Amino acid sequence: MSIEKRTFFRFDVNLPYYLEALTTEGLCFHIAREELISSAEYQSLLNETHKLKSLFQDERHIQNGGVQIFTELNQKLELMVWLLDSIIEGVDVGQLSEYRQRLELNQKNSMPEAKGSSKVLPLLQAFYLRLEDYISELVDVIEHSVHGKVFMYHKISPKPFKTEQYINGLSTLASKGNWLAQVITVMVAKLNHYESLYLKLKQAYQTLSDSEKWPIERVNLGAGGFAIYTSTDYFLSQQVCALFQMDDEFVFAKASCVYQSDKLNAQAKKRTAFQFDDISSEDSAHIVRYLMAKELEFHGKTQ
């Protein structure tokens, strides 16, 4: 039987799923920046960016090569910032040519090196490696997103980067106008702000990200929608974001409530039905293939 003829075929399956109401802006699984960072913190980020720009325009340190030492480190920091900001804004940067161009440029950057001994070098190298780790993690998040709409975070965040673990007194030197100390402390302060922002983002998405802990529920599923038993109250036409885990893959859709029973079952839950409003053709076909396989499996066990 063709996929077209089985579009409305429905079958009861047990699988993990996650539901969340659509935001007022019509977005799925989206945490607004305002929920993650205060206006004062955001202003601090702007101030740090402005301060770095001013320090890198210092003519004396352009001439003596000081600015050049930090150019690649700052490019790496800005890449991390751009990736994280894009995710927060819900932009599918993985489809942009700028994304590949930035990653290619980043690959050309090298870890800071120096001839002879240097107290600053271990700090700069650790800073470089910390940025590399964040960029690698963010790229992994982006490239394993579900249709560029759902982002999942699985790595535990490290403790904030601290200059004191490498050199003492940098803040004091910076307050006295030392250019090198100012650049390092401002770059680290900016990193710390984005580390905090990223941690809050992970915490906000923790339930969604931890798919291994999603409850396995019975779902009456079809390519046109699904029905579940739930203790959550839904009103007719209420829109939700739905994410189903089928074997090792995820199916994503926007759906709206078309029915909720007034009667409770033995577990004090109501039968609730949803129709898919927005689902990709690939995910719709995936549902049909999955259900056909489960149906064959079921009939094989009953014969």
**What domains are defined for the chain?**
4-26+211-302 (2.40.10.220), 33-204 (no CATH)
> SS3 of 232, please?
coil
* pLDDT reported for residue 118: 82
* pLDDT reported for residue 2: 38
Of residues 275 and 29, which shows the higher confidence score?
A: 275
How many H-runs (helices) and E-runs (strands) does the chain carry? 10, 6
Model confidence at 67: pLDDT above 90: yes
> Rounded distance, CA 229 to CA 273, Å?
9
Closest CA to 89 of 143, 27, 18, 19: 27
pTM, to two decimals: 0.87
What percent of the chain is predicted at pLDDT more than 70?
A: 95
Q: What is the mean pLDDT of the chain?
A: 91
Of residues 1 and 202, which shows the higher confidence score?
A: 202
* pLDDT reported for residue 101: 96
pLDDT tens-digit map of 69-89: 899 999 999 999 999 999 998
User: Quick one: tokens of 258?
Assistant: 């078309």
pLDDT tens-digit map of 182-220: 999 999 999 999 999 999 999 999 999 999 999 899 999
Sign of CA dihedral 7, 9, 13, 18: positive
